[in-house]
Amino acid sequence: MIGSNVPMARDQAVFAARSRLVDVRRRFLGHDLPPLGALIIRHQVAVPDGAEWPWALVSNWQHATLLGGRSLNDGAHPSVAHIRMGRPLRIRSADVVDWAIIDARGEIVEGAWTRRLRAPADTTT
């Protein structure tokens, strides 16, 4: 029974994040983040039989459909071996599944709806 709630909780978390994406982009571009804070996003990357949801630190988002940043994770599946911590990424906005604003200490102050999910990247449950 618990496992059947995971896809619904995941969908609700992704909906919450995506419904606020336009606003958080506006805030990022307007430098309306905490002092020394940053915006991180979680994006979906397809892998055979599922998906991974790595995090990235956003460095630019001039075009509404494409953002740039640096990976905060290594890809786990061999098909995403090119995703390595610190490497630059270009991410389609349509692939964003979550976002978070962090403060100067690295603490999440807003967002990150998917962080409480047991296995958010597991699309087989």
Encode pLDDT of 29-82 as tens digits: 999 999 999 999 999 999 998 999 999 999 999 999 999 999 999 999 999 999
Q: Looking at the predicted structure, is the pLDDT value of residue 5 above 90?
A: no
Report domain extents, the chain. 5-118
Chain centroid to Cα 46, Å, comes to 14
Give pTM, 2 decimals.
0.85
Beta strands in the chain (DSSP E): 38-43, 45-47, 50-52, 55-63, 66-71, 88-92, 96-102, 108-111
